[in-house]
Structure 1
Amino acid sequence: METKTVTQLACFIDLLMDAVCAVDIEGRFVFVSAACERIFGYTQAELIGMPMINLVLPADRERTLKAASEIMGGQPKPHFENRYVRKDGQVVHIMWSARWSEVDQLRIAVARDITERKLAESRQAALYAISEAAHATADLLALFQRVHRIVGEWLPAENFCVALYDEQRDQLSFPYYIDDRRQPHSVDRNCAEVVRSGQPLLLNIDGAPSSLGVPLSSQNGTIGALLVKSSGGERYTEYDQELLQFVSAQVAAAIERKQLQARLEYMARYDQLTRLPNRGFLQERLKDALARARRECGHLALLYVDLDKFKQVNDSFGHAVGDLLLQEVARRLQQCVRETDTVARIGGDEFVILLEHLQQPEHANRVADKIRSLLGEPVPWEGCDLSIVPSIGIALYPENGEEAQQLFKHADEAMYGVKRGAVAS
C-alpha cells in the first residue's frame, strides 16, 4: 500500500507544470519530475546523476553555489532566481523554491519557468534604461557602451557591435565593436545581411557561436544593425530576438535624435555650401584664440578675402556655376593654411582666415601672397577658364587691435583699400 501511494504521488507530481527535483549532497540530481524535460530539454534519464551546476548559465554559477550552500545550512530559499542553459542551448529563467531535508540529505526544490515574465520585465526595464542612457550620455559612443552593459544584463552579450549604414555611400561603419574571437568578416557579413533585408538574423549552428542580429529601423528605413554573439555554448532564442528588437527600436530613435542634434549643431556652425565655419563659429574661435594669445603673449592675424567681380560670374554663368566657384575657392584657401588655422565663409563671396601662433607678422603677408597665387590659377569650366582675383586685407594682433571687433574692422577696411587701389589702377 505504501509503495502504491508513493507511485501515485510520483504520477501526480509528473502532472505538475512546475518541475520538482531532488539533489544530493554532492549536487547531483537523484529525482526529477516529468516537467524537467519540458523546461530543461533533457529526459529524466539524462538528468539523473548529472551535476546540477552543469546546467546553470556560467555567469550565474557562483551565486547559485552560494545559495545551495545556504540552503544546506538550513536557510530555505522560497524565491531564488537564476538562469539555466537548455539542452538545445537556449537560456531559460528559473525561479526556485528549495529547502534542505536533513533526514534524506537532499535538497528538495520546485522550479518554475519564468522566462516569459522575465522577458516582459526586461522590455519594461529596457524602455527606461535605454531612454535614460539616450538622454544622459553626451555622445553616441558613450550611448553604445551603456547599451552594451544593459543588454548584457538580460542575455549573453560579451560580443556586441553596432553597425551604422550610410545610404549615400552604401557603406557600413562600426562605431562600436567588441569581439573576443576577432572574426570581423563574419560580423560584417551578418550585419550587411540584416541591413539589406531589414529583418532579424538568428544563427544557431552546431560547433559555432550563436549569433543574433536585428535591424536599427526608423521611419526613413534601416539605419544600421545591432549584433550579439555568444562566447560559450549558449543559444539565442526567439525571446532574445524579441528583446533585442525592442532595444534596437529605442537605440534607433536615440541615434536619430543625436544625429539630428549633431546636424543642427553643424548647421549652426558651418556654411552649408562650402562646409567652412560660418561667421558665428569664426567669432567663437577668434575669441578663444585671442585669450590664448593674451595668455602666451603671442601673435595672430585675420585675413579678410573678397572676390573681385564675383557678381559678374553669377550674372554671366548663373548661380550654380557661382556656387561651384565658391566651393573651389574654399578648397584652395584651405590648401594655403595649416590645420590649426581657420578658414571661414562669412557671407556671399567674403572669406576670413584666422592665423594663430604667428612667429613673425610677415608670415601673414606670405600667406596672402600664397592665396593670390593659388586663387589666380584659372578654374576650367566647360571649355573656358574662370578667373578669380581676390582682394585681401590683413589685421594683426596686437598691432592693429586687441579685441575681435577692432581686428575685423581693420581687416575689412584694409581689404576695401586694396579693392579701391585695384579699381584705380
Structure 2
Amino acid sequence: MARSSHTVEAVVQAVHRQAGTCFPSQVTLLALWQPEGDWLWELFEDDRRYTQRLPYYPEGIIENVLHGEAMSIPDIFAYLDAHPVRVRRLLDVNEVILDVGARKEQPDPSARAMLFVPLEVRGARVGVLSIQSYEAGAFDDTDLEFLSLLAQQVSISLEHADIREELERLTRTDMLTGLPNRRAFYHDAPLALAAARREGKELRLIMLDVHEFKRINDGFGHQVGDAVLSTLGKVLRQTVLLPELAVRLGGDEFALLIWGMDEQLDQLIARLSQNLRAASWPSGLGPIRLHGGVAHPPLGENVDEWLSLADARMYHAKRQRLVGSPAIWGLDFGDGLR
C-alpha cells in the first residue's frame, strides 16, 4: 500500500488485491466522505472497478459506521429482517453501482457477509472500508479485528495519496487562472492524440490570445491585466467541459483541446461568445476580444508542430484586425482544415 499510495484508486486497488489473500472476500469498498456532503464510492469486485457519487442517508450502514463503530454482518438477508431501511438503502446502492458496469445483464451475486470499519486521517473520520463475501458467515471476529488494523494502514496511505494528489494538482495548475498549465498540456495532449487515432474521433486544437493585451497591461497596469486573465480563466472553465481541455500556456495565450465535428466546434464558439459577454470584466476596458486559430492534428504525433500550426492560424486571424462584438473570433479555416 505504501508503494501504491500515489492515488486513492491505487490504494483501494492494492487493498482489494491483498484482501483476497487475507480474507475469503470478493468485494472491496472504500467510501470517502466528500466536502460537498455526499459520498465517493470506489468499489472493486473481482477485476472490475466501479466509481459512484452517492447521497448521504442518516439511516445508512455506511453512515452508521462513519459515526460509530466497526460492524460485522454475517448475513445481509438476515440483517435485512431486523433493519430493513438501512439495508434496503445499501442494497439499492450496490445495484446502482453494478448497473454501471459490464455485468448489467447478468444476475447480481449479492454479497452476503460484510465487514465495515471507519477510517481516520489526522484524527478525523473520513470514510469507511468494507470487505464483502458472497458466502454467508464468511468472516469471524478475528477478521474484523484484522480489518481494523488494516484500516489504520489504509488511512496512512490515503493521507499520503491526498498529499501526492495535491502536489500533482499544484504542479499542473496555473495559479492565476485555475486552469491546467503548459506542463499539463504536454502531458495530456499526446494522450488525447493517441485516443483520437485509436478511436477514430475528431480532435482539434484551438490557440487563443487576448486582443491587444499589451495595451491593457501598459495602459491599465499589470493588476488589471491579471484580472482580465483570471476572468478569462473562469469563462473557459465554465465553457469547456470534460473531456475537453482548456489550458493557459503562458502570458495571454491559451489552448483548447476540442472533440467532435464542426457542429460541436460551432456550439463551443457560441457558448464561449455568450459567456465572454456575460462575464464581469474590469471597468473601463471596453469589449474584451479574442483571436483564435484552429488546427487538426498533424500526421505525426509532434505536439509542438500542432501548436505551431494553430498558433500560425491565430496570428493570421489577428492580422485581419477584426472588430465588432465583445467576442471576436478570427478562425482561419484554411485549406485542409475542414
User: TM-score by structure 1 length?
Assistant: 0.47
> How far is 1:341 from its partner?
4.8
Equivalent position of 1:113 in the other structure:
none
Q: Which structure is larger by alpha-carbon Rg, 1 or 2?
A: 1
Equivalent position of 2:117 in the other structure:
214
- Deviation string 1:11-41 (CA, Å, 9 cap, x unpaired) is xxxxxxxxxxxxxxxxxxxxxxxxxxxxxxx
- Deviation string 1:148-180 (CA, Å, 9 cap, x unpaired) is 324415xxx6776432122x22323321277xx
Equivalent position of 1:422 in the other structure:
321
| Residues 173, 366 of structure 1: alpha-carbon distance in 2 compared, 3 angstrom cutoff | closer
Equivalent position of 1:10 in the other structure:
none
Distance 1:368 1:235 in 2: 54
Contact preservation (8 Å) 1:346, 1:352: yes
- Deviation string 1:359-412 (CA, Å, 9 cap, x unpaired) is 8xxx8995785476335423258999985311213445559x984334423433
Larger fraction in strand: 1
Distance 2:72 2:244 in 1: 50
Distance 1:158 1:187 in 2: 27
Equivalent position of 2:161 in the other structure:
258
Contact preservation (8 Å) 2:293, 2:312: yes
Distance 1:203 1:141 in 2: 21
Distance 2:2 2:62 in 1: 24
Gap regions ≥5 residues in structure 1:
1-129, 179-183
Q: What amino acid does structure 1 have at the position aligned with 2:273?
A: S
Contact preservation (8 Å) 2:229, 2:252: no
Distance 2:168 2:281 in 1: 34
For the pair 1:172 / 2:71, whether they are aligned, the reply is no
Give 3-state SS (helix, strand or coil) of 1:170's partner: coil
| Residues 384, 140 of structure 1: alpha-carbon distance in 2 compared, 3 angstrom cutoff | farther
Distance 1:234 1:402 in 2: 52
| Residues 403, 165 of structure 1: alpha-carbon distance in 2 compared, 3 angstrom cutoff | closer
| Residues 243, 391 of structure 1: alpha-carbon distance in 2 compared, 3 angstrom cutoff | same
Equivalent position of 1:409 in the other structure:
308
Distance 1:259 1:405 in 2: 33
Give 3-state SS (helix, strand or coil) of 2:60's partner: helix
Distance 1:159 1:287 in 2: 35
Once the two structures are aligned, what percentage of the paired residues are identical? 24
Distance 1:164 1:365 in 2: 37
> How far is 1:225 from its partner?
1.7
Instruction: State which drifts further: 264-273 or 294-303.
Output: 294-303
Instruction: State which drifts further: 216-225 or 282-291.
Output: 282-291
Contact preservation (8 Å) 1:164, 1:173: yes
For the pair 1:283 / 2:183, whether they are aligned, the reply is no
For the pair 1:373 / 2:240, whether they are aligned, the reply is no
Distance 2:234 2:114 in 1: 46
Bigger relative contact order, structure 1 or 2 (CA pairs below 8 A, ≥6 apart): 2
Aligned residues: 275
Gap regions ≥5 residues in structure 2:
46-54, 81-112, 325-338
Equivalent position of 1:327 in the other structure:
234
User: TM-score by structure 2 length?
Assistant: 0.57
| Residues 368, 304 of structure 1: alpha-carbon distance in 2 compared, 3 angstrom cutoff | farther
| Residues 412, 368 of structure 1: alpha-carbon distance in 2 compared, 3 angstrom cutoff | farther
